A and B are shown apart, each in its own frame.
Chain A
Amino acid sequence: MSQVSNAKPYMNPYLAGTLLGIVLFLAFFITGSGLGASGGLNRLLVYVQNEVNPEHIDQVAYLLKMAGGNSNPLDSWIVFLTIGTVFGGLISGLIGRRMKFETNKGPQISNGSRWIMAFIGGALMGYGARLARGCTSGQALSGGAVLSVGSWAFMFAVFAGAYALAYFFRKAWN
């Protein structure tokens, strides 16, 4: 692990956004589907559940769709997109010398508090993403670019939710 002082600065946000936009366009242009992230994690989880307790899968209609009978929940393009995303992050982190075991947080809270908050925030994100049928990547970014009404409403809701509570969590980040 290299020192963070050697790390290259992050890309200009407008340049990064343009590149991300081109990747998103190519995803739609070539495959017809956009990008996503929570779907891959979802299927990974269902795979594990199916290995541990297959009877349970057969009792829950929502899980049955992905892993019922002989269908393998990992046999889906979104799983491969997700694996690629992790590798892409790794490659870019190595090139930018930004690989470092660390916990990012504000100076006023401990690592332990940050980890607990990360877990709780993640749980809310995971729950909300399933309820909204998509996450920031699949709904806001992909659905936004193809002009889905629901995706735009969703996007405003995410920003509204975060801004509404930002004041109460200011100590965690500042």
Chain B
Amino acid sequence: MAIFPLPLADLLGHWGSYVVYAAIGVAFGMTLESAGFGNSKLLAAQFYFKDMRVFKVMFTAIIVAMTLIFLTSALGLLDYNLVWVPPTYLWPGIVGGLIMGVGFIIGGFCPGTSLVGLATGKIDAFMFVFGVLFGIYMFGETVSSFATFFDSSNMGRFTLPELFNASYGVVVLSIVVVALLLFVVAEKVEGMINGRPQPGLPVWTKPAAGALVALAAVVLVIGQPSSEDRWQVVAAESQARLDERAVQISSAEFIKYRDDSKIKIIPLDVREERYYNQFHLRGAVHVPLDRVQEKARELQFEPANTVFVTISNDEAAATEAWKILKAESVPNAYILDGGINGWLKSYAGDSVAEGDKVYNREEDQLAYKFNAATGSRHPAAEPAPDFLNLKYEPKIILELKRAPTSGGCG
């Protein structure tokens, strides 16, 4: 598994990790202030095309950070799956963005820049920060009246390469090139609006721009690690755990955690749809094997106390699904020992007749015939054995979650 991002709370402890965040904050504040972002008049000049500093600083930062993020990911140093990608709530985001744009031109700051304005004694920044606090307060008081809109158009972790169906390298290189072209345009526009030739750019800008394009091209050439590449990294350790049967949990352990309110158990049924329709466990989510990788990104959003259990008729497909989850860095993934067939054998009792048994079946096929799509209405879908008498070898050990569950605005 890629070493970065670091499990900070593990390494430094809960409060120790906060020192790192504070240090990052100091660097953030220093760069914002040096860029002139403590000065509202300079920020607002962006919208009169007089000084397009906001655009230049922001887009330079985005293309530099983006290129480095996807370069380190391509090199296997950074695990992109463990990086916080703000989930897309399209329409609340757009409406909120428009409101913020209006706030920007009236107030002259955005929340981050107002903090460095405040730190350097700008009185308008003080007033702005009070305004922000008031706006946040008003939001908390009113959000319940439009909760449906606030939670609408949720597309989860959704990235531009997924939208355009292009590789990450293509998107990264395109954004770098477009941003650099827009910088040239911005320089020209500033010259026209201010009616005088702009001072020339520092000599280092052209080689720096060339270097960034070259790095973005490297990202394109190397490509992002595929699920197979990612599996190779964890294969040795994970295959050993599979062979020791350390991750195949018994149905009894599954039932115990299903009834435990401190643990959220998500059964992932990876079988074909017909099997799922015939019989599945109560609460099982149907994710066919070819969709597990796509689903894995979404599963990162689940809270830290979530345990994922892959389920197939026997264990073959469930094991494949488990490998994908492992490769995609999904924490706390397990396999249901014996699969659905084992489950039915333990809990179906008289509800499946002897005559329904399928003999000479192939691996990972259902061992019983179902004449109707009973789904989770079947009595064995949610058996309630006396949990005090459940005997099993405990295997679930909750791992600390490395992926952040909220971004900088949570």
Instruction: Tell me the A residues contacting B by CB distance below 8 Å.
Output: 1, 10-39, 41-42, 44-46, 49, 60-63, 76-78, 80-93, 96, 98-106, 111, 114-166, 169-170, 172-174
Which of A86, A126, A163 has most B Cβ within 10 Å? A126
Closest to A78 in B: B408
**B129 sits at the interface (CB 8 A):** yes
Kindly identify which residue among B29, B128, B159 contacts A86, using a CB–CB cutoff of 8 Å. Answer: B29
- In terms of DSSP, what is the predominant structure of the interface of chain B? helix
Instruction: Tell me the B residues contacting A by CB distance below 8 Å.
Output: 4-6, 8, 17-36, 38-42, 44-48, 53, 56-66, 68-69, 72, 77-78, 80, 82-90, 92-125, 127-141, 143-144, 150, 155, 157-163, 168, 171-172, 183, 201-202, 205, 208, 402-404, 406-410
Q: List chain B residues, Cβ under 8 A from A173.
A: 41, 44-45, 47-48, 108
**Minimum C-beta distance from B43 to chain A (A):** 9
In the bound complex, what is the Cα–Cα distance between A103 and B102 (angstroms)?
A: 20
Given contacts A41-B111, A133-B92, contact A104 B101 (CB under 8 A): no
Given contacts A118-B108, A121-B106, A150-B155, contact A21 B68 (CB under 8 A): yes
**Minimum C-beta distance from B52 to chain A (A):** 8
Query: Are B159 and A148 in contact (CB-based, < 8 A)?
Result: yes
Q: Write 7 A-B pairs (CB below 8 A) sorted by A numbering.
A: A25-B65, A36-B408, A115-B123, A132-B100, A133-B89, A139-B409, A149-B158
Given contacts A20-B31, A21-B63, A89-B33, contact A125 B408 (CB under 8 A): no
Kindly identify which residue among A22, A130, A139, A140 contacts B143, using a CB–CB cutoff of 8 Å. Answer: A130
Q: List chain B residues, Cβ under 8 A from A30.
A: 4-6, 8, 20, 24
**Minimum C-beta distance from B161 to chain A (A):** 7
In the bound complex, what is the Cα–Cα distance between A7 and B105 (angstroms)?
A: 26
Query: Are A28 and B69 in contact (CB-based, < 8 A)?
Result: yes
Query: Are A146 and B83 in contact (CB-based, < 8 A)?
Result: yes
Query: Are A86 and B116 in contact (CB-based, < 8 A)?
Result: yes
Query: Are B17 and A126 in contact (CB-based, < 8 A)?
Result: no
**Minimum C-beta distance from A155 to chain B (A):** 7
In the bound complex, what is the Cα–Cα distance between A105 and B28 (angstroms)?
A: 25
Kindly identify which residue among B72, B93, B106 contacts A157, using a CB–CB cutoff of 8 Å. Answer: B93
Q: List chain B residues, Cβ under 8 A from A29.
A: 4-5, 68-69, 72, 77-78
Query: Are B45 and A147 in contact (CB-based, < 8 A)?
Result: no
Query: Are B38 and A130 in contact (CB-based, < 8 A)?
Result: no
In the bound complex, what is the Cα–Cα distance between A104 and B407 (angstroms)?
A: 31
Query: Are B34 and A147 in contact (CB-based, < 8 A)?
Result: no
Kindly identify which residue among B41, B100, B111, B407 contacts A142, using a CB–CB cutoff of 8 Å. Answer: B407
In the bound complex, what is the Cα–Cα distance between A67 and B268 (angstroms)?
A: 33
